[in-house]
Amino acid sequence: MLRFIKYFFWFLAASILLFFILNLIFPIKFSVSYSTQVLSDDGKVLHAFLSKDEKWRMQATLPEINDKLKRAFIFKEDKYFYYHPGVNPFAILRAAFNNAVNHKKTSGASTITMQVVRLLYPAKRTYLNKLIESFRAFQLELNFSKDEILQLYLNLVPYGSNIEGVKSASVLYFNTVPDKLSLAQIVTLTVVPNQPVSLSLNKNNKKQQKRATNG
């Protein structure tokens, strides 16, 4: 038992050292293009334009986002967001057990931080890319605060077509800013990202897209 503990700590120390070496060799770098916004004195979006990569991606700070919406996302996507270092090992073990018992994928183990990595660096879902995703998640946690990571997630979360971020969804779907959302609207914005294509509200937001562009 003592030998096992000794080997475990040696493995842990070697893993941490390897991480910091790789962090120096492959630093995390990303650039997010946001939509240009023209705001009124009270913060309402009067005009908006597509980002450089042709997305409706309106940047929002955390104070601009409804607290209930933030809590709903954390509760639904990553209950232990403020407690793990980017990867939740207990969630991984739980997901592996459930998937093995049911002989199919019934649950995932991605944290909000890992989802941010996936949104910043889209890649095929392979074991190697999952390992890289975990490494990048640790890097995000090392270089950014939890609130900064949450803000990034809420600005990148997909809502179907070329709409990304809760502010874009709030304006284009409901013609309101994120901190003015109703409970029903919050529930909608929390559910859609799980199936952004099939649950997209694009059919109902054409008028709002035109309004965002033309005022």
State the first-to-last Cα distance of the chain, in angstroms, to the nearest integer.
69
173 C-beta neighbours (distance < 10 Å), count? 22
Report how far residue 92's alpha carbon sits from residue 87's, in angstroms, rounded to the nearest whole number: 8
Write the pLDDT tens digit of every residue in 56-99.
Answer: 999 999 999 999 999 999 999 999 999 999 999 887 777 666 66
Contacts of 6 (CB under 8 A, 6+ apart): none
From the candidate CATH numbers 3.20.20.80, 1.10.10.1800, 3.30.70.3040, 1.10.3810.10, the one assigned to the domain spanning 2-214: 1.10.3810.10
Residues 100-146: pLDDT tens digits? 566 555 456 789 999 999 999 999 888 899 999 999 999 999 999 99
pLDDT at 94: 77
Strands 163-164 and 56-57, sheet pairing = parallel
Compute the distance between CA of residue 158 and CA of residue 148 in angstroms, rounded to an integer.
Answer: 18
Lowest average pLDDT, out of 70-84, 156-170, 186-200, goes to 186-200
Tens of pLDDT along 5-28?
877 778 888 888 888 999 999 999
pLDDT at 192 over 90: no
Q: Rounded distance, CA 72 to CA 75, Å?
A: 5
Phi, psi (deg, nearest 5) at residue 172: -80, -35
